[in-house]
Amino acid sequence: MATIGTFTKTENGYNGSIETLSLKATKVTFVPAEKTGEKGPDYRVKAGNVEIGAAWAQTSKKGNNPYLSVKIDDPSFVAAIYANLVEQDGKHVLIWSR
């Protein structure tokens, strides 16, 4: 697992940055989404004004820890990236998973 982003929780979501080999986004926000259905995302992920993904609120099976399950896509990617936004040592990190 690799950390590809760091974020700060705000009253309206999360602010931070994401960096991979092909993407460097310094102004990334997770903004609450208007739920349109049971399976709709809880957050929209934006790099500036461009939507690059979505996130769903989850709770871990072990420990009952909340986290966000994130899907990010960009035309430069071969396929979408799946990651989890978790709290570690008082800060929120985006951890890429395959």
Are residues 85 and 94 in contact, defined by beta-carbon separation less than 8 angstroms? yes
Share of the chain above pLDDT 90, in %: 66
Question: Looking at residues 10-30, what average pLDDT do you find?
Answer: 91
pLDDT band at 1 (very low <50, low <70, confident <90, very high): low
Are residues 68 and 81 in contact, defined by beta-carbon separation less than 8 angstroms? no
Question: Looking at residues 8-18, what average pLDDT do you find?
Answer: 95
Mean pLDDT, all residues of the chain: 91
pTM exceeding the 0.85 threshold for the entire prediction: yes
Give me the residue spans of the domains in the chain: 2-97
| Digit-coded pLDDT (tens) for 49-86 | 999 999 999 999 887 889 999 999 988 888 899 999 99
Q: How far apart are CA 67 and CA 16, in angstroms?
A: 16
